[in-house]
Copies of this chain bind each other. A is one copy, B any other.
Amino acid sequence: MKPLEDYLVVDFSQFLSGPSAGLRLADLGARVIKIERPETGDICRHLYTSNVIMNGESSVFHAINRNKESFTADLKNEADRQNVWELVKKADVVMHNYRPGVMERLGFDYESVKVVNPNVVYGEISGYGNVGPWKDKPGQDLLLQSLTGLTWLTGNAGGPVPMGLSIIDMLAGTHLAQGILACLVRRTIKNEGALIQVSMLESAYDLQFEAVTTYYYDGKLPERSEKNNAHAYLGAPYGVYKTGNGYMALAMGSIPQLGQLLQCDALLAYTDVGQAFHQRDEIKAILAAHLQTGTTESWLEVLLAADIWCAEVLSWDVLMQQEGFKALNMIQEVSMNDGYSYCTTRCPIRIDGEIFTSEKGSPALGENTEAILQEFKA
């Protein structure tokens, strides 16, 4: 039995940050009902990546909204509002990711919901928090990466390099899920609700907690290596290198030992541990040139035998052929109500030895409205 079975989440959020929190709660067993506007629904339904359309809607939407229900309601229509109130009254969790003030205008904000559901656990994600001069700015992943210093950590020295995924959306979602879960723990003991607030700005900053703690101490901005950077704060060999037939990653290892193992005499001179950091550019240049003279397999064979932390760089097609990957059953096939099925990931958390899957795909817009109306009618 999944840990959140019998929990009801009423989710007004759209795009990625809020829905990714809802996804995790659904993964863990909660019933998640998306409240969507009639006709258009969650804007993510038509927010295409690579222009890929699956069953008429965006692949991103299908990925984030598997295992959820859809209830359509026009929040400005009084009859629809009454229906939504019936859901909200019985919800364990209510959540949204509107900009500050919008939910207050719609009337389903925490203070209003608490009147009819005093123990509700209410979660919200904003872009920049609910205070300060930035609070009304649009919360968008790339903009948050750019504003929070994150782009100076990835890639080689030179210009800013963003991370190529909606990492801030996802982190804000995980933080919201953590806060909601912690307050559900408290609620079961103390019978009290909570308001949980997360912002993409705070999540983006928290992601950098190690590096900014160092920055507070020495006031030095991150300096990436000229080439083969994988972490601005770590010395050679930390990085990804081209080989004669591909790429490999090297995490740790003493430089002279690497010199011996790889038969690269130029590395033998770097006997001082401090050099691995302070002379990392020249060490990495030597390594980069040398590693191109052999195959990934030949280098890994020597290094792995000496317990050096290294790995081949794989793409998905090769990864998915590996027995080490297949053994984890990370892929599940889910089906929509109309029979359309697709493959996607599953919850990455195992509980009591079980992986949690659900054969339910994403909901068509409003497909559960009628059934839910019957079930929840006043």
Let me know if A247 and B160 touch, CB within 8 A: yes
Determine how close the nearest CB of chain B comes to the CB of A221; give it in whole angstroms: 6
Cross-chain contact B330 with A202 (CB below 8 angstroms): yes
CB of A132 to closest CB in B, whole Å: 3
A229 touches B167 (CB 8 A): no
Given A154-B163, A166-B210, A342-B217, are A315 and B197 also a contact pair (CB < 8 Å)?
no
Interface size on A, as a range, is 35 or more
Contacting pair A233 B182 (CB below 8 A): no
A3 and B314 contact, Cβ closer than 8 Å, known pairs A203-B348, A205-B330: no
A342 B311 Cβ-Cβ under 8 A: no
Contact B316 A352 (CB under 8 A): no
**Given A60-B210, A313-B151: A50 touches B220 (CB 8 Å cut-off):** yes
Q: Is there contact, CB below 8 Å, between A63 and B209?
A: yes
Contact in complex: A4, B182 (CB < 8 Å): yes
Q: How far is the CA of A221 from the CA of B316 in the complex (A)?
A: 7
For A317, give the chain B residue with the smallest CB separation: B221
Determine the chain B residues whose CB is within 8 A of the CB of A50 once the complex forms: 214, 218, 220, 232-233, 277
Question: Which residues of B have CB within 8 Å of A194?
Answer: 3, 351-352
| CB proximity to B under 8 Å, residues A47-79 | 49-52, 54, 59-60, 62-64
Q: Which of A251-294 contact B (CB under 8 A)?
A: 251-252, 274, 277-278
Contact residues of A between 155 and 186, Cβ < 8 Å to B: 155, 159-167, 170-171, 174-179, 181-186
> Contact partner of A230 among B137, B142, B196, B215, CB < 8 A?
B142
Query: Is A22's CB within 8 Å of the partner chain B?
Result: no
Query: A123-151, CB under 8 A of B: which get 1 and which 0?
Result: 00000110111110110111101111101
Q: A350 an interface residue at 8 Å Cβ cutoff?
A: yes
| B residues less than 8 Å from A339 (CB atoms) | none
Question: Which residue of B has the minimal Cβ distance to A21?
Answer: B178
B161 touches A324 (CB 8 A): no
A237 vs chain B, min Cβ distance (A): 10
User: What are 14 A-B contacts with C-beta separation under 8 Å?
Assistant: A4-B185, A59-B210, A60-B210, A63-B213, A131-B327, A137-B324, A151-B313, A165-B208, A165-B211, A178-B181, A181-B185, A205-B330, A205-B345, A206-B347
Give 9 closest A-B pairs by Cβ, nearest first: A132-B327, A134-B324, A49-B233, A181-B181, A153-B164, A63-B213, A146-B249, A154-B164, A216-B343
For the A-B complex with A151-B247, A161-B164, A216-B342 known, give 4 more contacts whose Cβ atoms are closer than 8 Å: A63-B214, A131-B328, A142-B230, A163-B163
